[in-house]
Amino acid sequence: MNRNVLTLAMVCAVTLMPALPCAQALELPDEALLLLASSAADPCSLCAEQERKKAYRILSDAFIPGQALESDDFCRLVKAGAGDDNELTLTCYPSETLKVSLNEGERLPEVVFRFYTLQNRLVGISEDDLTGDALAELYRASRPGRVFEGRIILVPYKYGEGATYNYFPQTNKLLIHCRLVNLGPVPHD
């Protein structure tokens, strides 16, 4: 009898547990970033547009709504700028491999992950995709450049070049929309 109750309890717990996406490491698609770097330096506007379109296809395959990304010892999240824009960058970007792959005159795009709150959100970001107050406050209270361990989930944004991102050619910035799920300062960063 006790065994049946335990089995039933396990089945209920697994069935009723909210589904969280399996997290992947914070990796960026190098080919797409090199295409964006090339497009930003290309004097031929039609060629640059073709390179951006190819980069967007790669980015759209790499960054899908609901995808969870998690930091590890190799790549962590960093508070960008003063923090007013709720942006995070990565400790592992740009890699040396990417830097040496650039042609003369090319510059890799700035890559940021931006999260949203009830007080700071874009039209097109669902209320369900907002970061909770506790994590947002932890971020705001931290100094610029603070390194974090964390987990983010990419969120849809219907006004982007892809389902979860925007690219701004004028500033060479790739903005990836996300929600913070977990964030903790790395000790002694």
Q: In this predicted structure, what is the pLDDT of residue 82? A: 76
Number of H helices and E strands in the chain, helices first, is 5, 8
Strand blocks (E) in 82-160: 87-90, 110-115, 147-154
Rg (CA), the chain: 19
Q: In this predicted structure, what is the pLDDT of residue 84? A: 79
CB-CB contact of 109 with 173 (8 Å): yes
Q: In this predicted structure, what is the pLDDT of residue 121? A: 87
Q: In this predicted structure, what is the pLDDT of residue 8? A: 39
Q: Where are the domains of the chain?
A: 23-185
Tens-digit pLDDT profile for the chain (189 aa)? Answer: 445 444 433 444 434 434 445 556 678 999 999 999 999 999 999 999 999 999 999 999 999 999 999 999 999 999 998 777 899 999 999 999 999 999 999 999 999 999 999 999 899 999 999 999 999 999 999 999 999 999 999 999 999 999 999 999 999 999 999 999 999 999 875
CB-CB contact of 55 with 35 (8 Å): yes
